[in-house]
Structure 1
Amino acid sequence: MADIDRPASPSPEDRKRLDAEAKQKEDEEQSKLPYKWVQTIGDLDLTATIPANIKGRDLDVKLTRNGVKAGIKGQEPIIDGTFPHQIHVDESAWTLESVKDGKELNIHLDKVNKMEWWAHVITSAPKIDTSKITPENSKLGDLDGETRGMVEKMMYDQRQKEMGKPTSEEEQKMEMLKKFQAQHPEMDFSNAKMS
């Protein structure tokens, strides 16, 4: 079978330039949103500036497992849409706080899936590139034992793949094969394949 011509991968300089252009476009799209948002692997927080004369009773904020609608009563909502993933409504909340320039609506969302980055707060908003998120290593200690073990294994496997080395499962299979070969020297393993 003939090799198919594949386009050459971009050079490191081109990759860096393309990443910078993508990041600039992403930043511009995000800056146009009427709110700012940040996330950790487990939750997401968004803030919106509100006029200083607005009180909590003047706001209309509804959180459901699948979406959010928030804004000043009688006006166009600041945010209204469906989440890309579900939240725990009972663990999510909103507050109105006084800040230097007026007031700020803060909405805290507790993610159901604590192993997934969100590309956007609501599905109609522009996406961010979640593959470029670098989690804070110090937060790894905040995870419970089982979750931390899973995250560490995923990080190890990701590093191994990036270096072209076997993942933890592939290493285990190779170790089992070596033990089996040692126990059965009479068998021919020359055509053995790992799958």
Structure 2
Amino acid sequence: MSSADPEQNLSPAELADREREETERKAREAAEQAQLPYNWTQTIRDVDVTAPIPANIKGRDMEVTLTKSKIRVAIKGQEPIIEGDFPHPILVDESSWTLETTTKPPGKEVNVHLDKVNKVEWWPHVVTSAPKIDVTKITPENSSLSDLDGETRAMVEKMMYDQRQKEMGGPTSGEQKKMDLLKQFQEQHPEMDFSNAKMG
């Protein structure tokens, strides 16, 4: 491990601080997301939004507009449940919405399925006006990796590797490459002093 790695030099107190900050960030993020009038989940390929609505609402009472860059979901005559610009474009023809009956609690919910144009990008939020989540903390489900084509899979695996390295305080693949190149250069030029070399 190179001395260019800042996390290796943290004291137990600094590591505890960092852990506390991470716990606080997660709690803050969860609280912000809980305030939204809808829930949402995503995979690397798509986003699903669900929102509870009154049991007496029918499909014709809903106003749902999906374009490549915007969404609007509302019950006619009421404030929208969700409205705004997507952070990234969707494939409109592959996206859809349904109205479903729920048992717990009894009622209905509107489900919106959004198909991402870019299949290697995590969304920080559904609409740009909503609070963001930290996409660097997302751990993709491994089962779907096998569904991806070779090039995409390699890119996702590299992103996952880099993310794990970052969490453990290790270098990302790009930083590792830089460090290897620097080491190689140092070996070729022993007369030069690299003790203050900064990575990044």
The normalised TM-score by structure 2 is 0.76
Distance 1:43 1:166, change over 3 A: closer
**CA deviation digits over 1:9-57, x for unaligned, max 9?**
9711111111111111111111111100001111000000011111101
Larger radius of gyration: 1
**Does 2:70 align with 1:82?**
no
* Larger RCO, structures 1/2 (Cα 8 Å, 6+ apart): 2
| Residue equivalent to 2:113 | 108
Alpha-carbon separation, structure 2, partners of 1:170 and 1:139: 28
Percent identity for Structure 1 against Structure 2 = 60
Structure 2 match to 1:163: 170
CA shift in 2, pair 1:14/1:93, >3 Å? same
RMSD, matched Cα = 2.9
Number of residue pairs the alignment of both structures matches:
175
* Whole-angstrom CA distance in 2 between matches of 1:61 and 1:37: 16
* Structure with greater proportional strand content: 1
Q: Which residue of 2 aligns with 1:137?
A: 142
Q: How far 1:132 sits from its partner (Å)?
A: 1.1
1:147 matched to 2:152? The reply is yes
Q: Deviations over 1:99-130 (max 9, x none)?
A: 11200100000011111111110011111111
Q: Describe the shift of the 1:190–1:165 C-alpha distance in structure 2 as closer, same or farther (beyond 3 A).
A: farther
Distance in 1 separating the partners of 2:39 and 2:93: 23
Q: Deviations over 1:124-165 (max 9, x none)?
A: 111111111111122211111221122224444555675348
Distance 1:37 1:157, change over 3 A: closer
Higher helix share: 2
Unaligned runs of 5+ in 1: 1-7, 178-188
1:98 partnered with 2:101: yes
Q: What is the SS of the residue equivalent to 1:150?
A: helix
Aligned position for 1:120: 125
